[in-house]
Structures are given as C-alpha cells and as structure tokens.
A = this chain, B = another copy of it.
Amino acid sequence: MSVVPALTPEGLLAHWQGHRRLTRRTIEAFPDEELFGFTAGGMRSFGAIMDEVVSLTEPLLHGAATGEWSWPPRGAGTGSTTREALLEALERADAAIAETLPRVAPERFLAHDTPVPGRTESVIATLLYFIDNEVHHRGQGYVYLRLLAIEPPPFYVR
C-alpha cells in the first residue's frame, strides 16, 4: 500500500499508552472512599465507570488482532470495587496493550470488521472509539474531582 499514513501503529500505541498513564493518575487522584462512593447527577461512580472501560481492553485487543469480536455482558466490568483492585486490573489491561497491539498485523487497522452487530467500520475506527470512550469518561471524572474540591491531574501530561 502506498498511502502515506496519518498515524503509524507505533504512534497509535504511544497515543493509547499516554492516555492510560493519565487515566491511572486520575484514578489515583480520588480518595479511596470516593472512587467507588461518590456520584453526581444520577451517574455511576468514577470507579465503576473506569472498571467497565478497563474490562473492555482485552476483548478489544483480541478483536483487533483476530477479527473475532465478543464482549462481556454490558456493565459487568472486571468486578473491581476497591482502588487497589481497579489499579491492578488497569495494570493487567495495560500489559495486554503492550503485548498485543504491536502484534496486530499492520493491514488489520484499515480492514473492515463488524465489532458489534449492525456496525461495520475499520479496526482503527473501533480502536479510536474505545480510546475516546476512555477520554470521555475520564473527563467526567475530572468534574467529580472538582466537585470534591480536588485538583485533577494536568491533561497535557501523558
């Protein structure tokens, strides 16, 4: 393929890992009891939201690598209910990114799959969708921190 890339596989890995570092700092910014205890506007706790985000990492990587897509039941998460457990789940998910993403065959990124029924798109679109989902929910965590009068970590540090 002679297309000049806008983003390389290595660039995608660095992009995602940068976000993961910021996600970790955001989780760590919550006091223990507030991570799964504080809510606002009828939403879930930041811990519960991030536990679901983290739980989708390995199914996402598996689908990207193999074209076989399957997801845990909606809202299942990893079952983490403490900061320690969530940070451990995050560490396992981050290890899966570091191991699996570099092994995705480069031609997979522009291949079209159907990761969920009725939605056919390029694998890179699916990957970016889930990274964006993490950014979106982490932004919500920043509001929770502000409501708790806690300064969130700087967005520009990755």
Contact = CB atoms under 8 A, between A and B. Distances in A.
Contact of A146 (B41, B109, B124, B138): B41
B40 A147 contact: yes
B4 A6 contact: no
Interface of A: 1-9, 11-12, 14-15, 19, 40-43, 106-107, 109-110, 122, 124-125, 128-129, 132-133, 135-140, 142-147, 149, 155-156
Contacts of A107: 4
Given A132-B132, A135-B139, A140-B140, A110 B155 contact: no
A142 B146 contact: no
A43 B146 contact: yes
Given A132-B132, A139-B136, A9 B11 contact: no
A60 to B, nearest CB: 14
Given A5-B5, A11-B122, A132-B132, 13 more contacts: A3-B5, A6-B11, A11-B125, A15-B128, A42-B146, A43-B146, A132-B135, A136-B139, A136-B155, A137-B139, A139-B139, A139-B140, A140-B142
A7 B4 contact: no
Contacts of A138: 136, 139
A12 B4 contact: no
Going nearest first, the 5 A-B pairs with the smallest beta carbon separation are: A5-B5, A41-B146, A139-B139, A4-B106, A7-B7
A34 B109 CA distance: 41
A155 to B, nearest CB: 6
Nearest to A155: B136
